[in-house]
Amino acid sequence: MKRLLLALTATMMLCLGIHAQNQYVMKILKTDGTTMELNVDDIKDVTFDEVQAPDPYIDVPHHFDLTVTVGKQGGMGRDVTTIMQSRSTLDSGAPVDFKNMGAEINADYSMEVILKGKYYYQVPVSADRFVKLQFVDNKMQVVKAQPFRENTYNTRQYCHAWTSDNNLLIMAANGDKNAIVWTKLNTDDMSIISEGTLSLQVADGYDSFTTSGILAYRESDNKLFYFYYNKKGSGRSAKNEPFFHIAVIDANTMAVEQDIINSEANEMAGSAYGELLQQTTFFDEKDNLYLVAFSDTEIGEEGKLLRISKGNYNFDAGYNGFPNSDGKLLTTQYLGKGKVFTYSRNDALTEDDGKGGTRKATQIDSYSHYYSVIDLNANTRTRMAVNGSDIDYSSGRFSQRSTFDRGAGKVYFGVNTQSAAPSVYVYDVATGAVSKGIDVAEGYYFEQIRLVED
């Protein structure tokens, strides 16, 4: 038997099959969109430049779930009507109207959810259980529910990480916010595998932990990275630590192995609700971990994209992958090959304060938010534009109105401008071209666009 040593990375491996005469064959998706099949003996002749990363959505039937609010932007628990509707395409078609089409969800559920495949997972408004949901025929259906056992959680206020295809870890500060509790779920049947409390202690001079923190799992060494900070007081008057922490945790035992105070940024984005609403972490092909963060500077909240290189546990000193920062970085989506789709805020803008004066345009409803694409390799950032003109600023801070269809090589992103009805735009990753997709009826505000398996 031949022994074959393959240095297969995320840039190359796709699928392995068996043809006649028991010949093992690798099917590879090339960067030009075509495929080729190779006998394993020939794989050594393929260069990494010829192939691209495996794509979970290739040949997988899917649709898009749109979440909007009525009358004003939502997020952060705003009491506003929230409607979901499924669409087969966002490229073209008649304007989307949510009147008598879709389901109002915020009475029982939150739009801050975990999505994987065809299912949503969350702690519902009742805050007494974990639920596995599926949105079918514009109706939210409960697939499985698991009542809390020991640890309890509030809706919207927790972080999460997948440690395998069906193992979901939930983590948050407890009710008194003086301890960090965790629960591991088997999402096949939503049973609780185990739960407990981290060994972290509130730092001297402070009285609580941040509500949720941010959690990421590095499979290569089975480590969890928990980003958190200590604070004193509550609400807008709370005093936070000058720099947040990186707790490195063994994913099997949940033992805290390191507790590092970073020196690159004051706070991570989304610290109150994890990544239930916006994506703020990702890994690249080299197993580098990136985190969205910010620091208070003269421009306002200066957005940063920090990096923990493969095998390391602290951020790379002096690195910021968000070039020409003009304000807070809010969301990221990694597109592969060093490209990152982002949503951020321009903190230099001002607006009418309704009292005859002006204020900084940093409110949830402020028209100061925009989309751009970062090239990590070239350290550049390009704002989304159509026919040479920048797309107007959008309102809505706490939202993720973009989704990446890897199979199609397109990013779909929703825009709420002051001068036009809400619209979906389409970014072609390969060409960089931006085109107009479908419109949404006036009176609705984009909150989320999700790609969901059928």
pLDDT at 100: 85
pLDDT at 399: 80
Q: 120: closest CA among 398, 111, 59?
A: 111
In the chain, which residues have pLDDT < 50?
1-25, 27-34, 40, 43-57
Rounded CA separation 418/126 (Å): 36
Rounded CA separation 112/120 (Å): 10
Instruction: List, for residues 353-400, the tens digit of each pLDDT value.
Output: 889 999 999 988 899 999 999 999 999 999 999 999 999 999 988 788
Contact by Cβ (8 Å): 60, 407: yes
The length of the chain in residues reads 454
Cα 215 to Cα 113, 182, 202, 263: the distances in Å are 15, 11, 18, 19
pLDDT at 76: 60
pLDDT at 117: 96
pLDDT at 36: 54
56-59: which pairs have CB atoms within 8 A and are 24 or more residues apart?
Answer: 56/406, 57/405, 57/406, 57/407, 57/451, 57/453, 58/29, 58/406, 58/407, 59/407
pLDDT at 236: 78
